Every structure is written in C-alpha cells, then in structure tokens.
C-alpha cells in the first residue's frame, strides 16, 4: 500500500513541476509581449510603420485619401449653395457632405417626404374641419328631411279624416241594414 501512495505522490510532484514550467513559459510570453521598448529596439521600422498606420486611421486619413482620389478622377464637386441660413442649418448642411449635388438630392428627397407627410396631415385636418363645419348642416338637413317625410299637412290630414269618417258611417249603415233591430229579433224569437 505504501508503494501506491509513493507512486501517487511522485505523480503529484511531477504534475506540480510541469505546472511550474508552464507558468514560467506563460510569464515569459506575457513579459515579452508587453515589453514595447525591446520591440522598438529590435525592429524600429516596424514600430514606426505601426505608429504611423494607427495615427493615419485615427486622424481620418482613409476618408481624406478617398475624397482626394475621387476629386482627382471625377473633378471637384459642385460647391454648396451660398445662402443666408441660420448657423444651425449651415452646420447641418456641412454635416451632409461637401458635394453640392448630393446635398441637393438629399434635401430634395427629404423635402419630398416632408411634403407627402404634410399633405396627409392637411387631408386629415381638412376632413376634420369639413366634419366640424358640415355636421350641424347635415344634422339640420336630416331633421328637415325626417320632418318632411312624416309631416301632417292640414289639407291632406282633413281629406284623410273625411275618408275615414265616410267609411265608418258606410260600414255602420251597412251593418244597420243587414242586422235586424232588437224588436225584430224579439218578435222572431217569440214566433210573432
């Protein structure tokens, strides 16, 4: 049993030694990676190229090179229109770019979108205004039409009243002629 324990102990000591060696390698790698002065001394050209490239990108060099190349190939863009706009509007125009044609196109598209939206808004306001103004007129017209349809003019009323009374009197006369009087009924019943 002692031999198994001794063997396990040897394995743990070997693993500890291997772990120590790995730590030493890792520490050396980290120190070498962060030792910038030593890298610059070993290859100053690479260090200068890396610093210059970083500065070029940070200061917006690619954008400037692209604009200059485009200007050389296609010519200078149209200048921005001179105007008497407020400073905030001028600032917003400058943010759109230096190409006058692009700025004009952007402004035209934005204005077209604004015009469409304003037209929709005006249509909504127009409908609301029309309903607000027309509602009392429509209400009055509906009321007048209803009154006209269901009105009782005096001439028509009197004529209908005469017809109904005439029919009622005719019906009562016809009933009186067809129906025997009470005396006749009593006499018939008595056999007289």
Same domain, 97 and 146: yes
Same domain, 103 and 143: yes
Q: Answer yes or no: is pLDDT of 151 > 90.
A: no
Q: Is residue 186 part of a domain?
A: yes
Same domain, 115 and 125: yes
Same domain, 145 and 157: no
What average pLDDT does range 15-23 have in this prediction? Answer: 86
What average pLDDT does range 38-54 have in this prediction? Answer: 82
Q: Is residue 112 part of a domain?
A: yes
Residue 157: per-residue pLDDT: 63
Same domain, 131 and 99: yes
pTM here? 0.31
User: Which token pair is 11?
Assistant: 């394995």
Domain count, the chain: 2
Q: Is residue 123 part of a domain?
A: yes
Task: Return the DSSP state at 60.
Answer: T
More confident call, 99 vs 170: 170
Same domain, 184 and 162: yes
List Cα–Cα distances, 80 to 7, 54, 95, 99, in angstroms.
Answer: 85, 32, 12, 7
Half-sphere exposure for 134 (CA within 13 Å, toward CB): 6
Same domain, 184 and 141: no
Same domain, 98 and 145: yes
Residue 192: per-residue pLDDT: 55
Residue 85: per-residue pLDDT: 62
Residue 10: per-residue pLDDT: 92
Q: Answer yes or no: is pLDDT of 14 > 90.
A: yes
Same domain, 140 and 157: no
For residue 118, give its domain range. Answer: 93-151
Residue 11: per-residue pLDDT: 93
Q: Is residue 133 part of a domain?
A: yes
Same domain, 97 and 144: yes
Q: What is the DSSP string of 143-154?
A: HHHHHHHT---H
- In this predicted model, what pLDDT tens digit does every residue of 81-119 receive, in sequence order? 666 566 766 777 777 777 777 777 777 788 888 888 888
Instruction: Locate all alpha helices (DSSP H) within the chain, ordered by sequence.
Output: 2-34, 36-42, 44-58, 61-74, 87-96, 100-149, 154-178, 182-190
Same domain, 171 and 123: no
Same domain, 177 and 158: yes
Q: Is residue 166 part of a domain?
A: yes
């Amino acid at each position: 049993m002692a031999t198994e324990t001794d063997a396990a102990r040897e394995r743990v000591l070997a693993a500890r030694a291997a772990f120590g060696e790995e730590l030493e390698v890792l520490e050396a790698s980290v120190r070498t990676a962060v030792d910038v002065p030593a890298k610059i001394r070993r290859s100053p050209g690479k260090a200068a190229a890396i610093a210059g490239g970083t500065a070029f990108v940070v200061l917006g060099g690619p954008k400037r090179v692209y604009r200059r190349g485009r200007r050389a190939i296609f010519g200078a863009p149209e200048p921005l229109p001179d105007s008497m706009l407020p400073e905030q509007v001028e600032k917003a125009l400058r943010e759109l770019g230096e190409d006058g044609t692009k700025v004009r196109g952007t402004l035209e598209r934005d204005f077209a979108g604004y015009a469409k939206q304003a037209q929709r808004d005006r249509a909504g306001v127009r409908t609301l205004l029309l309903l607000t103004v027309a509602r009392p007129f429509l209400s009055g017209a509906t009321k007048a039409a209803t009154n006209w349809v269901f009105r009782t003019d005096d001439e028509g009323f009197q004529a209908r009243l005469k017809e109904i009374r005439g029919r009622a009197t005719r019906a009562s006369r016809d009933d009186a002629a067809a129906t025997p009087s009470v005396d006749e009924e009593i006499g018939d019943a008595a056999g007289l």
